[in-house]
Structure 1
């Protein structure tokens, strides 16, 4: 367990989560106008949209760090440990967002928390299928995609974008729950335990 913790460096993900919560508190409702495929050629987005990125990149980095041989050759449910770490991180994010919302200092806190869970699920699912480097690209790529083509002619975001929707949007909420659950399941299945070393049995 200790080897798993030190090798994976989950404390980096914890630090990124702290940065996320601080950003949610400080950025608030600041917006920026960016190029987009809309009738006016641009769209106004909330800067809060990008605050989950450090957490997702940290998770992608931690997930690609394999345990050393003493750990990897033992019968240890490494995938279960990883999945548990993702759930704990998501739970801490929700708790932090709830506290910020209770203080009333950031009206977009819940939307940022939902977006974080969605992007974590996306990152971990893609990472299980295509590797951690691709998973980091998928996280950032999704944000770029929705920024460019996520708005309709009325400048309202499409439901499939998820991260552009209001915090109270039920479709985005359901999609987030499904994607996060897929990410946890993919993480748990990514590293199957290997048979342990049984010792030298002599020549046969």
Structure 2
């Protein structure tokens, strides 16, 4: 286990990833900007984009592997990686809920839910695209901004701009996250 933590540089990168999530989350609460879209100019909360640095750190952690020993070894490295993803995502969700409880907006809590959804998308994309899948969450956000709004109302399929109390968005986020973690465990490394 120690060699795995060292190979992933988890002692340094996990706190860095959480700081890369928490600092912007605190900085951009209550800020909405009009972004150009194909169907108007919706007012979008900047907290929508806060999970991106955390996801970039997460992909860096997952890709800082030692291919030869990990592919030939008998240790369950994929399960270790899945545990790390779950812990980091749960910590980000906890930070977001803490910010909301300490007087933040509900956008902060929604940002924590979005970490789960976008991490799941990234892990699903990683099975097909490898490390380039770090762009899958960014592509989803661009798609949402481009065609995901009708006026200032988010369409149902967009998931990420929905309110923190939106139950279908929470369920979809958990399902996508679970599918991504399952893919991380069961898709062979050699296929990546």
1:62 paired residue number: 61
Equivalent in the alignment of 2:169: 172
CA shift for structure 1 position 159? 0.8
Task: Decide whether the 8 Å contact of 1:121 with 1:181 is kept in 2.
Answer: yes
- Match of 2:16? 15
Q: CA deviation at 1:9?
A: 2.4
TM-score normalised by L of structure 1: 0.85
Show structure 1 runs of 5+ residues with no match: 194-204
Deviations 1:33-83 (A, max 9, x none): 111122xx3111111110000111111222222226445432110100000
d(CA) in 2 for partners of 1:45, 1:128: 30
Q: How far apart are residue 15 of structure 1 and its match?
A: 0.9
Alignment correspondent of 2:184:
187
- Cα separation, partners in 2 of 1:190 and 1:58, compared to 1, 3 Å: farther
Which moves more between the two structures, 142-151 or 163-172?
163-172
Higher Cα radius of gyration: 1
Q: Distance in 2 between matches of 1:184 and 1:9?
A: 20
Distance 1:19 1:85 in 2: 17
Unaligned runs of 5+ in 2: none
Deviations 1:153-189 (CA, angstroms, capped at 9, x unpaired): x431111100011111111111101001011111112
Is 1:31 equivalent to 2:29 in the alignment?
A: no
Question: Please, which moves more after superposition, 177-186 or 99-108?
Answer: 99-108
Aligned alpha-carbon RMSD (Å): 1.9
Q: How many residues align?
A: 189
Query: After superposition, where does 1:84-123 map in structure 2 within 5 Å?
Result: 84-123=83-122
Secondary structure in 2 matching 1:35: coil
Question: Shift in Å at residue 192 of structure 1?
Answer: 6.2
Find the aligned partners of 2:23 and 2:99 in 1 and give their Cα distance.
Answer: 10
Looking at structure 1, the residues matched to 145 and 122 of structure 2 have their Cα atoms a distance apart, in angstroms, of: 18
Residue aligned with 1:131, SS: helix
Bigger helix fraction: 2
Change (3 A) 1:144 1:129: same
2:21/2:53 contact within 8 Å kept: yes
Does structure 1 retain, via aligned residues, the 8 Å contact 2:49–2:141? yes
Question: For each residue in 1:2-57, what CA deviation from the matched residue of structure 2 results, as whole angstroms up to 9, or x when unmatched?
Answer: 2221222233243122221122222111111111122xx31111111100001111
